[in-house]
Amino acid sequence: MTSSSTTLSLVDTDPAELAVDAIVIGVHSQTTGPDATSGPAGTLLLADGAESIAAAFDGKLTATLALLGATGGPGEVIKLATLGTVTAPLVLAVGLGPEPTGAAPAPETLRRATGAAVRALAGAPRVALSLPLPDNADAPAVLRAVAEGALLGGYRFAGYKTTPQPSRREPVAEVLIAVPDAADEAARAEIDRATAVAGAVRTSRDWVNTAPNELRPPAFAEAVATAARAAGLDVEVLDEQELRAGGYGGITAVGQGSEAPPRLVKLTWTPVGETNGKRVALVGKGITFDTGGISIKPAQGMWEMKSDMAGAAAVGAAMLAIAALKPSVTVTGYLPMAENMPSGTSYRPGDVVTMFNGKRVEVLNTDAEGRMILGDAMARACADGTDYLFETSTLTGGQVIALGKRIAGVMGTPELCERVKVAGDAVGEPAWPMPLPDDVRKGMDSDVADISQVNAGMDRAGHMLQGGVFLREFVTDEVAWAHIDIAGPSYHSGEPTGYWTKGGTGVPVRTLLQLVEDVAANG
């Protein structure tokens, strides 16, 4: 069940003459108060890119949009029939918020606005975007954002309905982006890059949105391995016997409660030619469904735990984009997969588990399963040898409590956490560094084993931090690492907004790709 896709191209002809089903322009909310963001609402302002459309409307476009209720607020979409003034039958004005003084709108503003516009145009096969693209060093980043917004806002999961829904319109099939020079090599490269990156985000959304009965560990491993082989990556899949024999105690323990056995998928990208010698490991949590196991979760909302493999989906999809982007750095993806179920064969509170690196863990709550499978996978990544280790997981409800649904929590080597934050800011996937306090580690001392899986008194204080503190035990000293807790940002249960549709968001695919490119460029 994969989504249908949208294709992108560049045009440099007059937007007023484009034979498309709709043309998208931007509008700013122009405020008159001393503080542009909180002052009283003022008049609308057409954004750059709307000039030729405005000319065709004989100077009446702004007033007409205002009459239709346009305020220029971020994400607002107002449609206007053009009645022959321009070739396209429809103009869609998308709100960009107040015009930033002396600058083009921030990339994320345009990414969201483009996503909202393309989503609102579902049903139109072919649309063009004539949005404010700066004529300076920011141009590539802004074009990239517009392209990503179009491809991601146009995403829709195919779903499982047996009868077609008459009210559902097909996502836009073709998006044209108006630029000063459609033959410009750098601009074309940005479109190719955005297509690869957004393709990966869409793949990870598809995997997250797939029903959990269709994506148990063997099926998920098969889907990832098939896509990775087709992309030209090296693929290794360990099955339950190999995991047991190989000493992967954490993956084996969590997986043993399910009839669908666990897997560990390893994907490798080896660059050709000169590299800076750095190696990157990406590790993603692949719990295909998290019931909590014997420490079972409440029924309400449990269905969202089909998204507990969002970390593995992000890593697997990012590896597919890496095969297309060909960065000059070695990247290895590790995707531990298990289904956390309660049964007669489940692991239980009180069990002591020997992990891949030999450390013994006292299990206190089978619902803290993510750290068990991740500890093994991270230790394996360190044993294989790496310089940087980025791990991402829907690890704790505590992340959502602390930082909300949009901002990921980052724990690990401080410099690398800062690098994750910078990468996240650059791509519109915000992440915030969090500490790994000694007292939290102290609270996880076990009476019988090397470490407790959670606070020994089941104290939920510093819940998210407990996850990071636990995972630190599975990283060797020479490896710089960062744990990115995406429990909130990886899944969007509200109404669509910007380029986020309902369900999987694809976070943090774009951050991981940004980090890999950063390491390739800067070591």
- Tell me, yes or no, if 60 is annotated catalytic: no
Of 106-114, 195-203, 225-233, 390-398, the segment contacting ligand BES by CB under 6 A is: 390-398
Task: Point out which span in 140-148, 210-218, 368-376, 401-409 binds Zn ion (CB under 5 A).
Answer: 368-376
Per-residue mark of binding to ligand BES, 472-491 (x: CB under 6 A): ---------------x----
Site map (CB under 6 A) of ligand BES, residues 267-306, x = contact: -----------------------x----------------
Query: At residue 512, what are phi and psi to the nearest 5 degrees?
Result: -60, -40
Minimum CB–partner distance for residue 350 and Mn ion (Å): 17
Q: Which residue is nearest to ligand BES (CB)?
A: 397
Which is the catalytic residue, given 126, 244, 278, 297? 297
Q: Count the site residues for Mn ion by CB under 5 A.
A: 2
- What is the spatial distance between Cα 103 and Cα 141, in angstroms, rounded to a whole number? 13
DSSP annotation string for 128-196: EEE----SSTTHHHHHHHHHHHHHHHT-------SS--TTPPPPP-EEEEE-S-TT-HHHHHHHHHHHH
Work out what residue 76 binds among Zn ion, ligand BES, Mn ion, none; the CB cut-off runs from 5 to 8 Å by kind. Answer: none
Indicate which of Mn ion, Zn ion, ligand BES, none lies near residue 396 (CB less than 5 to 8 Å, by partner kind).
ligand BES
Q: Pick from 369, 376, 391, 518: which binds ligand BES (CB under 6 A)?
A: 369
Q: Which is nearer to Mn ion, 99 or 367 (CB)?
A: 367
Q: With respect to ligand BES, which residue has the nearer C-beta, 368 or 378?
A: 368
Give the C-alpha separation, 6 to 21, whole Å: 15
Site for Mn ion in 169-198 (CB under 5 A): none
User: What is the DSSP track for 248-267?
Assistant: -HHHHHHHTTSSS--EEEEE
Distance CA 114, CA 374 (A): 36
Q: How far is CA 386 from the centre of its chain?
A: 23
Peptide bond into 508 cis (omega under 30): yes
Q: Report which residue type is found at 88.
A: A
In the shown chain, the binding pattern of residues 306 to 325 toward ligand BES, with x for contact by CB under 6 A and - for none, equals --x-----------------
User: Per CB under 5 A, does 391 bind Zn ion?
Assistant: no
Q: What is 452-491 written as a DSSP string?
A: ESS-TT---TTHHHHHHHHHHTTS-TT-EEEEEE-TTTTE
Is residue 394 a contact point for ligand BES (CB under 6 A)?
Answer: yes
47, 76, 343, 377, 503 from 264: Cα distances, Å: 50, 44, 22, 8, 25
- Binding-site residues, please? 285, 290, 308, 367, 369
- In one letter, which amino acid is 227? A
Spatial separation of the C-alpha atoms in residues 509 and 512, rounded to whole Å: 5
Q: Can you tell me the distance from the alpha carbon of 79 to that of 375, in angstroms, rounded to the nearest whole number?
A: 51
Binding mask 303-322 for Zn ion (x = CB under 5 A): -----x--------------
Size of the site for ligand BES (CB under 6 A): 14
Catalytic residue among 112, 119, 371, 380: 371
Residue 365 in the binding site for ligand BES (CB under 6 A): yes
Tell me if residue 371 is catalytic: yes
Of 367, 323, 315, the residue nearest 486 (C-alpha): 315
- Binding segment for ligand BES (CB under 6 A), chosen from 42-50, 168-176, 364-372, 383-391, is 364-372
State both tokens at 30.
């122009």
CB closer to Zn ion, 53 vs 309: 309
User: Nearest residue to Mn ion, using CB?
Assistant: 367
Among 99, 148, 367, 429, binds Mn ion (CB under 5 A): 367
> In this chain, which of 368, 379, 427, 440 binds ligand BES, going by CB under 6 A?
368
Measure the CA–CA gap between 249 and 376, rounded to whole angstroms: 7
Q: Which of the ranges 40-48, 148-156, 264-272, 367-375 carries the binding residues for Zn ion, by CB under 5 A?
A: 367-375
Identified binder of Mn ion from the candidate list 290, 391, 429, 518, rule CB under 5 A: 290
Q: DSSP secondary structure string, 103-115? A: SPPPHHHHHHHHH
Coil/strand/helix, residue 247: coil
Of residues 212-271, those binding Zn ion (CB under 5 A): none
Distances, alpha carbon 100 to alpha carbons 36, 109, 413, in Å? 9, 11, 35
Which parts of 129-168 interact with Mn ion (CB under 5 A)? none
| 3 state DSSP class of 510 | helix
Residue owning tokens 């700066």: 134
**Residue 413: other Cβ atoms inside 10 A:** 17
In whole angstroms, give the CA distance from residue 231 to residue 322: 9
Q: Binding to ligand BES by residue 391, rule CB under 6 A?
A: no
Binding to Mn ion (CB under 5 A): which residues in 299-358? none
Q: Give min distance, CB of 218 to Mn ion, in A.
A: 21
Q: Which residues are catalytic?
A: 297, 371
In the complex, the residues that contact ligand BES under the rule CB under 6 A are 290, 308, 365, 367-370, 394, 396-398, 400, 454, 487
In the complex, the residues that contact Zn ion under the rule CB under 5 A are 287, 290, 308, 370
In the complex, the residues that contact Mn ion under the rule CB under 5 A are 290, 367
